[in-house]
Every structure is written in C-alpha cells, then in structure tokens.
A and B are shown apart, each in its own frame.
Chain A
Amino acid sequence: MSQPYFEEVKEGDAVTTMVQNCDSQRLVLWAAGSGDYYQIHYDKDFALGTGLPERIVHGALKHALLGRMLHEWAGEQGRVARVACQYRGMDMVDKDVICKGVVTGKRTDNGRNLVDVEIWTEDPTGNKTTPGTAVVALPSRS
C-alpha cells in the first residue's frame, strides 16, 4: 500500500477506484457481518414478492465499500474520519459496485490534516447510485 501525504494530495486527485462484485454469497456475508437480515437482500422470492425486480445490495454494504476504498487509499498512516452517502439508486445482486472518489479540498482541524473527498458508487451502466462525501486524515511529510 503506497502512502499518500497531506502535502502532496491536491484538489481533483482521484481516489483509487475499487470494484466489488456483489453476488448472493457477498450479500449473505453482509447480512451476517452487519446483522441486517432483511430478506429482500438474499431471498429472491421474498424480493419479488415486495415488487422488486431482484435481490438488491444493502445500502449499508455500499457505505462500507466506500469506507474500504478510502481505507485502502489512505495507506497505513491514514484514517477514514467520516463517510456519508445517500442511497439514491438500487444495485442488483451479481453486479459490480464500482466505488470512486475525487479530492475536493484540504484543511487542518485541531492539528489533523484532513482531506475532503466526493465519493460515489456506480453500477455497471455508469449510474451513480450512492453519492456522498467523506473526510480522510492523512499524515504530513514534516
């Protein structure tokens, strides 16, 4: 994992894109890992019965995937300080969830070097289904 430093990161920099396929096993792993056992995420008959076209990816899983993208980008000395997102569009089982981010600003707060990031997930057709904002604390060179 390469380490980005606060001084070198600039507005417009892209966060390393992360792709996670969300097959039914992933959604069951998430149900267990998060404690959210709502059946629309893993029981196809149940999902169809509620009028959905398919099982859908948990919103909170997309939030966690965005957090993982930021953790992996922030390096060993970085910290994910805030992850906020809105669940605007549904992502369906078996599809890739593509996590992306762009640096929008930098600031220091209470001695911490903070980087503001616009984040989102895309479905395979390019729809931004989960837009949001995040804050990452990065180490300083000095």
Chain B
Amino acid sequence: MTQQQQASIITDQMRAAIGKESPSVTYEIDNTGCRQFARAAGYTDPLFYDEAHARSKGYRGLLAPSGFLGHPLISPGQPPRMPGGAGGLDIPLKRVLNGGTDVEYFDDVCAGDVLTATNKLAHISEREGRMGQMLILSTETTYRNQAGDTVAVMRGTTIRY
C-alpha cells in the first residue's frame, strides 16, 4: 500500500477563528471550591482549608490551589458556560485528548475573588500520528479579577484525532 498524503483538515473557518476573543465567562472562587480542589490534589497545608490561618499569613482568604481557577456556572438544561475558543468549530475528528496545560500566575487568586475569563484559539496545527490524522489546537484563557487585574493565563493544548 502506498503512503498517501492526506488533504489538510484545517479549514478557512478554523483559520478565521484564530485570535478571536470569546465572550467573557464568570468564575466564582469560593471557600468550598478551594477546599474541594485542594483535598482532591492531596494538600495538607491549612492555607487551603482554614480561613483564619490564611488571613494570618497575609492572604485575603483561602488561597486557591495551583490550577484552580473556578468552576463554570451551570444552569439546568443548558450546556455549561465555558469560554468559546475552539467550541464552535466544525471539526471532522471525534476523539479528544488533553495534550497539556500551562497556568501562569501574575497575582494570588483567593476565595472571594470573582474571575472574568475570555478565551481565544491561539494556534492550530495538524500532523499524521500513530492514531491517524491529528489536529492540535492551542487555546489561551485570560482571567481577570474583580479589580480588573490579569491574575492568570491558562494555555491549553487539545488534540483531536
């Protein structure tokens, strides 16, 4: 069998989506969310569980553990409100893999903060992998707090195959 060069699956629609900011989504950082995430990651530091302790160490409230930037707000009967990014694209590949995560902090995120996030598709590439044709989507989500300061940027890589 001869190796065939597959046609590109990157469409004009995908290219046009690069760099477009999504509508913003709100994430509430609360005590229970911080504690639940910290417990799941196995933290024992009281900074994530005991509000008085966190304040005694100079934090506004419980520190949000690394990687915790809130949960999307859910309304029954509606899909979760997540920032757009690659959401609206017609992608002919059904399977999804999480390729990687990069979270960069510019300030502390603490319980009581309300974050506003916008997301954009930063980059698309494709390659022929072990599992066939693969599309690699890089997204970038910027989180601003209630004071309007950018506190974190999350860069994610999603692989469709």
Min distance, Cβ A118 to any Cβ of chain B, angstroms: 14
A135 to B57, CA, bound (A): 22
Given the complex, which residues of B lie within 8 Å of A70, measured CB to CB?
66
A29 to B43, CA, bound (A): 13
Asked if A95 is an interface residue, CB under 8 A from chain B, the answer is: no
- Cβ-defined contact, A87 with B41, below 8 A: no
Which chain B residue has the least Cβ–Cβ distance from A71? B66
Asked if A59 is an interface residue, CB under 8 A from chain B, the answer is: yes
- Cβ-defined contact, B42 with A20, below 8 A: yes
Asked if B98 is an interface residue, CB under 8 A from chain A, the answer is: yes
Asked if A111 is an interface residue, CB under 8 A from chain B, the answer is: no
Asked if A67 is an interface residue, CB under 8 A from chain B, the answer is: yes
Asked if A83 is an interface residue, CB under 8 A from chain B, the answer is: yes
Binary flags per residue of B42-84, CB closer than 8 Å to A gives 1, else 0: 1101000000000001000000011110011000000000000
Given the complex, which residues of B lie within 8 Å of A32, measured CB to CB?
36, 40
- Cβ contact of B103, chosen from A35, A59, A68, A83, cutoff 8 A: A83
- Cβ-defined contact, A68 with B97, below 8 A: no
Asked if B104 is an interface residue, CB under 8 A from chain A, the answer is: yes
Among A6-14, A73-81, A120-128, the one that faces the other chain is A73-81
Judged by DSSP, the binding face of B is mixed
Q: A30-B40, A67-B41, A68-B41 are in contact. Are A80 and B66 (CB under 8 A)?
A: yes
Q: A67-B67, A71-B66, A83-B67 are in contact. Are A61 and B40 (CB under 8 A)?
A: yes
- Cβ contact of B37, chosen from A34, A85, A87, cutoff 8 A: A34
Which chain B residue has the least Cβ–Cβ distance from A62? B101
Q: A30-B40, A76-B57 are in contact. Are A71 and B98 (CB under 8 A)?
A: no
Asked if B15 is an interface residue, CB under 8 A from chain A, the answer is: no
Given the complex, which residues of A lie within 8 Å of B71, measured CB to CB?
35
- Cβ-defined contact, B99 with A64, below 8 A: no
A33 to B104, CA, bound (A): 20
- Cβ-defined contact, A60 with B101, below 8 A: yes
- Cβ-defined contact, B97 with A34, below 8 A: no
Binary flags per residue of A31-73, CB closer than 8 Å to B gives 1, else 0: 0111100000000000000000000000111011101101110
Jot down 6 A-B pairs with beta carbons below 8 A, ordered by A: A59-B100, A79-B105, A81-B105, A83-B67, A87-B100, A135-B104
Q: Which residues of B contact A (CB under 8 A)?
A: 36-43, 45, 57, 65-68, 71-72, 97-105, 108, 155, 157
